[in-house]
Amino acid sequence: MSTFFVILIGQILVNNYVMCQFYGICPFLGVSKKVDTATGMGLAVTFVITVASFVTWLLQQLLNMAGLQYLQTIVFILVIAVLVQVVETALKKLSPSLYQALGVYLPLITTNCVVLAVAQKNIDVGYGLLESTLCGCCSALGFTLALVLLAGIRERMEESEMPAWMQGFPGALIMSGLMAIAFMGFGGLI
């Protein structure tokens, strides 16, 4: 049980892929203008990473049995691409407004390095199926947390009077840096 707690806290706060390891910066900065859009992207990424962690762990076992470990990255990328297509098709049908709001960033989940990094970390660390799935889910929740927090800050910044040089993207970069410093403060938790 303590392993699950360490994975939960570690992946969401201590080893947050965006704030502490600086993966997934493109969608983090691109989709963080509105909380609604950030939440939608976070949920899509959570689905993709969680399912990808589960499926890639199973496929890695098959690759190990067949002696084809060298195909790991290619297989993982194919799994991620298929999952993103499923999410994209579902959003197009179920929530056209969110699909439009996410725009180009939705297909870019395929190349979001967080997704591949989590899948490879699960194998490298030697997690079992349950730990891999939990690690994927918690990593995605950490990504979502960072994304929604920045979106909330950016929405407040839009309403505030700020110097012209700090409006828009420069302000987002400064806030991202300050958030990263805050997340680094969680480093001693585990």
The type of residue at 10 is: G
In the predicted model, residues of the chain with pLDDT beneath 70 are: none
* DSSP per position, 110-167: GG-HHHHHHHHHHHHHT--HHHHHHHHHHHHHHHHHHHHHHHHHHHHHHHS---GGGS
Closest listed residue to residue 154, CA positions, set 142, 172, 181: 172
Predicted pLDDT of residue 57: 96
Predicted pLDDT of residue 148: 95
Predicted pLDDT of residue 54: 96
Predicted pLDDT of residue 31: 83
Burial 110-149 (b: 16+ CB within 10 A, else e): bebebbbbbbebbbeeebeeebbbbbbbbbbbbbbbbbbb
Dist. CA 14–CA 12, nearest whole Å: 6
Q: Are 45 and 114 in contact (CB under 8 A)?
A: yes
Residues in Cβ contact with 182 at an 8 Å cutoff, skipping those fewer than 6 apart: 19
Predicted pLDDT of residue 133: 96
Q: Are 12 and 145 in contact (CB under 8 A)?
A: yes
